[in-house]
Structures are given as structure tokens and as C-alpha cells.
């Protein structure tokens, strides 16, 4: 198989079309199918098109052969926001279809998702009440927005993810994620969860152990060195590399969402683009599994 954008989109289209159930439409079905919509959304992220208006104009000229019908920007935006459950399902289906789904080594981390830069935006935004102020220790700065919690394999394949207010405890969010996805946790016996110091808590680790999950994290100050701590420096760089892919290549912080549905679907869009690239690279035997170079032009 060839590693280029056309091949990735074709393969992904077939995968989606084989796994989703076509809904029964009242009246005439849409000219742009759900499978085409998701593939179009993935292409938009991989090609770095932040503006949907610019993206529709570009796609009409350069992708007309793959997408014979393209709606106007308002219609595309409306369909994309409504497709959030489908995009989440495709992320899971792509992960399950890869070798990495059976990896019982998980890495968890959270990263800021800024949603506003001014006080008037904070006061008037539709995200008020869901988004909030938080602190990014990596960049020593405050931000207003959300946090993306990502549980992935060392290769970067997303297993679980969630968006939450920055003021909510990291342990509380992760606990909720594991409870909601209890079926996924049950599929993986002897899972080793690698985290930073923010998830340190004896009751929390005990709770994880009851679910069959062992927590590997750095030791806190005045705490004895924990077993396996020596390998954490290299492993922690993996999740930082995944976050760098999302932010540096897929423009995660420039998502452009202004509503609950808008932010959620744009974050999911980027996670799917990364997952699809990892899935396709693994299938084709690419030397670098998380490389997006073959698909960004």
C-alpha cells in the first residue's frame, strides 16, 4: 500500500463504510455521506486548514475527484458538529483494528486547550461554565479553556480521552474516564498506567489496583524511590511527543471552537487524524508509526 493522503482517505473511507450503519433518512438522503464527511474532516486537519471557509474552497478545487459534492461552510459546520458521536466511534474502531489495541502499557497526561484570550471573551463565551482558568506548568502560564485528558499507548494510539474544566482534579477526571469505559479496562488485563506526579494518591492507586491497573509514576518529595522509576524519564518523553504532534502538526490549540459542540468535535477531529495516520502507517509497515509527513501535502 502507498503512503499518501489519497490512499489513507480511501482506506479510511472503506473502513468507516464497512462499520457504520447507514441511518434511515426522512426524505432525501444527504449528497455528502457520513463516511465522506469524516474523511473530509480528517483531510482538513492533516492539510492544516484552520478556516472552514478556506477549506471548502480548497477542497472544491483539489479534492473534487474524491468528494464530488461539497456543501457550503454553514452546512459543513453543522454536519461536522452533529457527527461527533460518529467520529468518536471511528477513533475507537481504528484503534481496535490496530496491533496497538492489545498493548497493556498506557500513558496518561493532560494538556491545555485554550478557548479564549481576553476577559470579554471569557464573560460572553458559550463555553462559560464548562471552560475555566487553569495553569500550564510546562509553559509557566495561565490559560482559559479546557484540559484534554489522553490515555494512549506508547505509540500514541488513543485509547481513552476526555475534555474537562482545568479546576477539576486530574485523579477525579481519570477515575470518571475509567468508570465510563469500564468495558475497555476489562479487556486489558495487567495494565500498567504511566503518569506524572499529579496523579499521586494512595487511595487512588488502591482504587486502580482494584480494577487491575498498576500505576507507575515519579516519587514525590520526601518519598522513597518507587519501583521502575528509573525508566520514567524516557517514557514520559513519549507522551510529550504525542502532545507535540497534536499541537505542532495538527494545530490543537488553534482549534477555533467557540461552543461546546464546536470545541469537542474539533479536538476529536485531530485525535482521529492522528489515530488514522498511526493505523495506516502500521498497516503499511512505515518505519515511523506516528509520522504525518506523507499526508500533510
- pLDDT tens digits, 143-198: 999 999 999 999 999 999 999 999 999 999 999 999 999 999 999 989 999 888 88
pTM of the model: 0.93
Let me know if residue 70 belongs to a domain.
no
> What share of the chain in percent tops pLDDT 90?
65
Average per-residue pLDDT for the chain: 89
How many other C-beta atoms lie within 10 A of the C-beta of residue 226? 15
CA distances in angstroms from 237 to 15, 144, 241, listed in the order given:
32, 26, 6
Would 45 be classed as within a structural domain? no
In a domain, 154, yes or no: yes
Do 261 and 267 touch, CB atoms closer than 8 A? no
- pLDDT digit string, tens, across residues 81-126: 999 999 999 999 999 999 999 999 999 999 999 998 888 888 888 8
Res 103: pLDDT: 92
Domain that holds residue 225: 102-255
Give the CATH number, domain containing residue 231: 3.30.420.10
Alpha carbon distance 115, 259 (integer Å): 9
**pLDDT level of residue 240 (50, 70, 90 thresholds):** confident
Q: What is the spatial distance between Cα 107 and Cα 184, in angstroms, rounded to a whole number?
A: 15
Q: Tell me 26's DSSP state.
A: S
Look at residue 146 in the predicted model and tell me its pLDDT: 94
Q: What's the sign of the alpha-carbon dihedral 277, 279, 284, 287?
A: positive
- In the chain, which residue ranges form alpha helices assigned H by DSSP? 5-19, 34-46, 52-62, 73-82, 84-96, 119-124, 170-180, 182-187, 202-210, 232-244, 260-284
C-alpha separations of 4 from 10, 98, 155, 274, 296 in Å: 10, 19, 20, 14, 9
First vs last Cα of the chain: how many Å apart? 18
- Dump the DSSP string for 141-200: EEEEEEEEEEEE-TT--EEEEEEE-TTS-HHHHHHHHHHHTHHHHHHSTTEEEE--GGG-
Q: Is 91 among the domain residues?
A: no
In-domain check, residue 215: yes
Number of structural domains found in the chain: 1
Instruction: Report if residue 173 sits inside a domain.
Output: yes
Inside any domain, residue 184: yes
Domain-located, residue 50: no
What is the rounded CA–CA span in Å between residue 87 and residue 275? 11
Contacts of 118 (CB under 8 A, 6+ apart): none
Task: Tell me the per-residue pLDDT of 16-67, one tens digit each, with 9 for 90 and over.
Answer: 988 876 566 667 778 888 999 999 999 999 999 988 999 999 999 999 999 9
Amino acid at each position: 500500500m502507498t503512503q499518501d493522503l489519497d490512499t489513507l482517505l480511501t482506506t479510511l473511507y472503506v473502513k468507516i463504510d464497512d462499520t457504520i450503519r447507514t441511518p434511515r433518512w426522512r426524505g432525501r438522503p444527504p449528497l455528502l455521506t457520513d463516511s465522506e464527511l469524516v474523511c473530509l474532516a480528517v483531510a482538513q486537519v492533516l492539510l492544516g486548514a484552520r478556516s472552514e471557509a478556506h477549506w471548502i474552497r480548497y477542497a472544491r478545487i483539489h479534492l473534487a475527484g474524491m468528494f464530488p459534492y461539497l456543501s457550503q461552510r454553514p452546512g459543513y459546520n453543522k454536519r461536522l458538529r452533529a457527527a461527533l458521536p460518529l467520529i468518536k466511534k471511528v477513533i475507537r474502531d481504528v484503534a481496535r483494528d490496530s496491533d496497538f489495541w492489545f498493548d497493556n502499557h498506557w500513558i496518561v497526561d493532560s494538556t491545555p486547550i485554550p478557548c479564549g484570550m481576553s476577559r470579554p471573551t471569557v464573560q460572553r463565551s458559550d463555553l462559560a461554565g464548562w471552560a475555566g482558568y487553569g495553569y500550564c506548568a510546562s509553559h509557566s502560564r495561565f490559560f482559559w479553556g479546557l484540559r484534554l485528558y489522553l490515555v494512549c499507548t506508547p505509540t500514541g494510539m488513543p485509547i481513552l480521552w476526555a475534555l474537562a474544566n482545568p479546576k477539576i482534579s486530574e485523579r477525579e477526571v481519570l477515575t470518571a474516564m475509567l468508570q465510563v469505559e469500564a468495558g475497555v479496562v476489562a479487556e486489558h488485563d495487567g495494565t500498567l498506567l504511566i503518569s506524572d506526579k499529579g496523579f499521586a494518591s494512595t487511595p487512588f492507586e488502591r482504587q486502580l489496583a482494584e480494577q487491575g491497573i498498576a500505576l507507575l509514576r515519579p516519587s514525590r518529595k520526601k518519598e522513597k524511590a518507587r519501583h521502575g522509576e528509573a525508566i520514567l524519564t524516557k517514557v514520559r518523553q513519549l507522551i510529550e511527543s504525542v502532545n507535540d504532534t497534536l499541537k505542532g502538526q495538527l494545530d490543537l490549540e488553534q482549534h477555533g471552537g467557540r461552543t461546546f459542540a464546536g470545541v469537542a468535535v474539533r479536538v476529536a477531529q485531530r485525535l482521529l487524524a492522528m489515530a488514522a495516520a498511526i493505523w495506516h502507517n502500521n498497516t503499511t509497515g512505515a518505519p515511523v508509526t506516528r509520522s504525518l509527513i506523507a499526508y500533510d501535502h
